[in-house]
Amino acid sequence: MPVAVETSLTPGAIFQRDFRTRGQQTVDGRPLRILQWNIERGYQLQRIISELKAADADIIALQEIDIGNERSDKYDTGVEIATQLCLNYAFLCEFEELHSPQRSADAQGGGVHGNAILSKFDISNVRAIEHR
């Protein structure tokens, strides 16, 4: 079941929410597992979620998160992943993905696009550092 899409994001805006369950397990004396993945707008969202569940990483960095774009069925792909994996979540909106009549349906925008961190741990002091 899709989670409601956050529609008030603008470039540079940060969205953070905790989807962990109470008492969820964290690292227990084992090496920390960190995974990064460019998910290409979440085109294969359920497959991505299955792979991430199997990897059982402690911290996940995702690129190309779509929120509200037609090409990704207007899903909030990051929230969908964080919810299904029960992880803490922070998203940075990189840019607005404008709708354009010149694009094909599988490339159509209409929402925002950015990057996210998902974690079994608390996420604090979330901020964007502007590249100059």
Domains plus CATH for the chain? 32-119 (3.30.110)
Give whole-number Cα distances, 121 to 49, 52, 53, in Å: 19, 16, 16
| pLDDT attached to residue 16 | 77
| pLDDT attached to residue 56 | 94
Asked if 90 and 126 touch (Cβ cutoff 8 Å), the reply is: yes
Q: How do the residues of the chain divide into helix, strand and coil, expressed in percent and rounded to 5?
A: 20, 30, 50
Q: What's the token pair of residue 11?
A: 């470039």
pTM strictly above 0.75: yes
| pLDDT attached to residue 107 | 87
**Per-block average pLDDT, block size 10, for the chain (132 residues)?**
65 77 65 92 94 97 94 92 96 91 89 95 89 82
| pLDDT attached to residue 46 | 96
